Chain A
Amino acid sequence: MVGAENLITRPSELVVYECDGYTLEKETPPAVVFPNSTEAVASVVRVCREHEVPVLARGAGTGLAGGATPLGGGVVLSLARMKKILDISLRDRMVHVQAGVLNLELSSLLSDTHWHFAPDPSSQVACTIGGNIATNAGGPHTLKYGVTVNHVLGVTWVAGTGEVIQVGPEATSAEFDWIGLWTGSEGTLGVATEAWLRLTPLPLAHRTFRVIFQSVEDACNAVSRIIAAGLIPAAMELMDRGILQAVEDAFHFGFPSEAEAILVVELDGIPIALDEQERIVAQLCRDCHAQEIVSAASEEERALLWRCRKSAVGAVGRLSTGYFIQDGVVPRTRLPELVRRVANIGCERGVRIVNVAHAGDGNIHPILLFDERDPDEVRRAMAAGRAILEACIELGGSITAEHGVGIEKLPLMTALFSPDDLDVFWRVKRVFDPANIMTPGKLLPPPPRLSQQDEKNGQPR
């Protein structure tokens, strides 16, 4: 089906696949397969369905919620060898790629055109298009350009039945929005093997500057003031003092060590319009007690600033040997309150927490630090993480904005959704995956009305 060279079954090689970027839970899979084509993926799924073996798709394994962790013993379906660029059509504003193509590779490939692929998750140097679709990945520029689903025109989908379904890329308004349904389903409804992606014109000019604040709250307030003034910057990104320490250590950018918060604002568009916008943003920031506003002096400095922001999470290893990262989201205006609560939760439970945030989206990533070798510290960090997400729900938000639920946020799904809501999710899942073999135990908590035995067999009572 895939050939021996595309299959791993040796225990010493399987170990590496026991977790992704979320390392608190692990399980060694029984096998890893590396299909090279949609047909091969479909065959693997069909065989697994026949033998009732769970299947779990994996791209680059950079996910932060355990979405690619084979808990429950599923076969790992690695799409890392499916990385062909099938077609680039600038006239159609579209590329056709296999799911294992790296996010950044697309934009590099297009670097001598005026186009790029807009979704830019912070892991974009390494993460795959398939993973972006599975989690409906966002990124700093989500604020203006939207998340992955806004850039997917078509998908080749292998459902849990082993059927291959192609949707798009031509627009047909006379059908359900399958792409909308599948994108962000975290592998529970099937696997994307190919995608047609929309290209976005490169902006003609950028203005990127960093604004230094005395408090995170001031920075959050500035963000809401900017939006209220009718401006949608390309990105508004927040880093607090704790994370700045790691970032500075990694990249020696020269952030002032006494800064409590730094807001990175990027405006883009037609050069002539940017002067006025920059003036307004600067004024609003000063109204919110900004201490200093510094523009990126060159394209190199802008690139470094973005590298600092995008690699911030990876730089946490300089602060701690273990961490896990939350992905809370609240209405933007509630962000200052959430920040306060996160700080309190950290104090109360004795957990060190540092923050990065896509502030423009109300999406905050508190990073909880611990030493993996200290079980008590791990427990406290996990409890604090849960408390943060509960706070998000209380403030009218959600437990994930872009990382996905995975296994890490699964226990909170019941807090966020009613049994009736979850029942609807399950009914949808059964349409595409009647045997419940696709990524079981992720995203959806076990349906309450099924006994454990039934759930294993995927049969409703």
Chain B
Amino acid sequence: MNDPSVSTTLPSRDAKPGRAAPLPVTIPEEKILSCVHCGLCTATCPTYTLLGDENDSPRGRIYLMHAVVQGRLPITESVQTHLDRCLDCRACETACPSGVEYSRILEPFRLATAQAQPSWKRRADWFRQVVLLRIFPYPERIRRALTPIRLLQKAGLYEPMERMGLWDLLPARLRAMLTLVNASVPAGPPLPDFLPAKGRRRARVAFFVGCVADAMFRHVHWATVRVLQENGCDVVIPGGQCCCGAIHYHVADEEGAKRFADQNVRAFPVHDVDAVIVNHAGCGAMLKDYGHYWKDSQTPKRQEFAAKVRDINEFLDQLGLVPPIHPANLTVAYHDACHLAHAQGIVAQPRRLLSQIPGLRLVPLPESNMCCGSAGSYNLLHHDLATRLGRRKLENILRTGAEVVLASNAGCLLQIEREIRRARAPVAVLHPMELLDACYRGEKPRGTTNGRMARPSRAGRNTSGNVAG
């Protein structure tokens, strides 16, 4: 649908004369009207599933936003709360038969309401200003901030301290963040500028490193580039690249996000490579959206860049995976990261890759496409709902009897790992590339016993509900 937008001014409770004047924003009313109010989205919405109030459903939120745009409602605190509660998981977009671009309604709206707030209020939020905007987007700063925790982990004190409830003494958002730190894994050195293909060269790709992904998941990066090499890809790792900008964008710092975007667009030699590879869903979704977010002279370049971006699962599936030789005798469940399944529509590809690992048994995970509660920085800002979703995910994982649960996104990995750790469940939480990498190298996947663990078998039970011939 083209974009005949109406320019409207959001009525704001803070819009008192002489103080912060409301900013004129462009809300695409046609996009709102494409919702025919059928309600098929409600059941897929994690917050509606938990809370049962239509104000916390996609249909309800669109209705609220429409009422605000029409001037029927001011942006009250309760309207803001219901909109803030949205995880932006975009499960509703997958469910919507009318193709309503929910996220493209919500995000400009969120930006507009945030900008309508007096700026001192935003600046007074230390967590947003310092942690989200000043630390998160920079891998070195994250690593430094993590040092004390890593030391505690090495000394074996982290988990006992967590169980003693020591973290409860900290401010809520800091506490939430602390509990999410993953186990210390040998990260390996920083990635080099170039890694050559093994065997016949099939493609030349550039690899996106990111921020949190680099600081906490460099081992996943190494696994990913090794898998690319095994699949005949020359891998270029351009210097000068930076965070994708998603954190800034989602906490309504649009300018900050744009600066990062343009830095990345400059850093990547898109004409020189077949694809820009990204291995975490949240970053991938953001990179793919560069072309949509801002309209200025740089737009064509951003679109060109975005068109080259491929998630690693998507890319390998398209390229044709070189099947690994070594088996993984494991029962594995796959969790659909929202920003992979709903934002990028990548559902079948990772499953097809996994099905080519010898010995591996992929079991269906109930509610696999429901958000785990991580949702970018959501688990830091809406701790209670995020934790309830995390528990629900954990219960579903445990029901499958899987020894490994896979997710293709940093946030999901952290959130799920925390739940598994707290439940002391014998389940390894891995990125699919870690598993593939292990099977190319003939190593035991991290945290698993590779098939020696005795588990009740569900083989032979009809789990698909399909008994047809």
Contacts and interface: CB of A to CB of B under 8 A. Distances in A.
Nearest to B36: A317
Given A21-B37, A313-B38, A250 B465 contact: no
B99 A206 contact: no
A13 B55 contact: yes
Contacts of A126: 39-43
Contacts of B469: 204-205, 271
Contacts of B97: 250, 311-315, 317
Contact of A34 (B36, B53, B67, B99): B53
A12 B73 contact: yes
Contacts of A34: 52-53
A53 to B, nearest CB: 21
A19 B461 CA distance: 43
Given A60-B43, A114-B462, A202-B467, A321 B33 contact: yes
A374 interface: no
B39 A60 contact: yes
A112 B463 contact: yes
A17 B52 CA distance: 13
Interface string A106-144: 011011111010000001011100000000000000000
Contacts of B37: 19-21, 23
A316 interface: yes
Given A10-B78, A16-B54, A112 B39 contact: no
Contact of A299 (B82, B99, B468): B468
Contacts of A60: 39, 42-43
Contacts of B44: 125
Interface in B58-85: 60, 63-64, 67, 72-74, 76, 78-79, 82
Contacts of B67: 15
B96 interface: yes
Interface in A61-87: 61-62, 78, 80-81, 83
A100 interface: yes
A271 B467 CA distance: 11
Nearest to B63: A16
Contacts of B95: 125
Contacts of A299: 464, 466, 468
Nearest to B1: A318
B300 to A, nearest CB: 27
Contacts of A102: 43
A316 B36 CA distance: 8
Given A80-B53, A112-B465, A15 B73 contact: yes
B466 A317 contact: no
B39 A62 contact: yes
Contacts of B63: 15-16
Contact of B462 (A61, A112, A321): A112
B35 interface: yes
Contacts of B82: 13
Interface in A303-351: 311-318, 321-323
Contact of A315 (B52, B98, B466): B98
Interface residues of A, number: 56
A313 B464 CA distance: 27
B40 A317 contact: no
A123 B41 CA distance: 10
B34 interface: yes
Nearest to A107: B465
Contact of A61 (B35, B39, B463, B464): B39
Nearest to A32: B53
A12 B13 CA distance: 13
Contacts of A39: none
Contacts of A81: 52
B100 to A, nearest CB: 7
A126 B95 CA distance: 10
A127 B63 CA distance: 19
A314 B36 contact: yes
A357 B405 CA distance: 43
A372 interface: yes
A156 B53 CA distance: 23
Contacts of B60: 16
Nearest to B39: A62
A31 interface: no
Nearest to A127: B39
Contacts of B41: 126
A12 B463 contact: no
Contacts of B74: 12
B400 to A, nearest CB: 11
A21 B35 CA distance: 11
Contact of A206 (B36, B52, B468): B468
Contacts of A313: 38, 97
A162 B179 CA distance: 48
A214 B82 CA distance: 49
A11 B95 CA distance: 29
B465 A202 contact: yes
A126 B72 CA distance: 28
Interface in A431-461: none
Contacts of A311: 40, 97
Interface in A209-244: none
A381 B97 CA distance: 23
9 contacts: A15-B67, A15-B72, A16-B55, A20-B37, A123-B40, A203-B468, A314-B36, A317-B97, A321-B33
